[in-house]
Amino acid sequence: MTEPQKDTQRSLAAAKAIFDGRDPRGAQGNSILVTLEQTVALVLLASMGNDPQKAVAMLNEGLVQGVEERIALAVSRR
């Protein structure tokens, strides 16, 4: 399995854990987003050596743009 395929598998497993059986279309959608926010903050802090300035920089300079690009790619494939 290639690294991109492994990344996809890890992402799917993380999404399943974050959703945890909750319905994203209902009121539970907000609680799913809270869990996602907590997860992103934890991963950013952990990967940046618990340095909040570096974590915020990574969020603003890399993560937001990358997420926007992935959403645009998903839309273009429809």
**Which pLDDT score, from 0 to 100, does residue 55 have?**
97
pLDDT for residue 59 is more than 90: yes
**Which pLDDT score, from 0 to 100, does residue 58 have?**
96
C-alpha–C-alpha distance, residues 53 and 73, integer Å: 30
C-alpha–C-alpha distance, residues 33 and 43, integer Å: 15
Digit-coded pLDDT (tens) for 28-52: 889 999 999 999 999 999 999 999 9
pTM of the complete model = 0.83
Distances (CA, A) of 47 to 10, 20, 73: 16, 24, 26
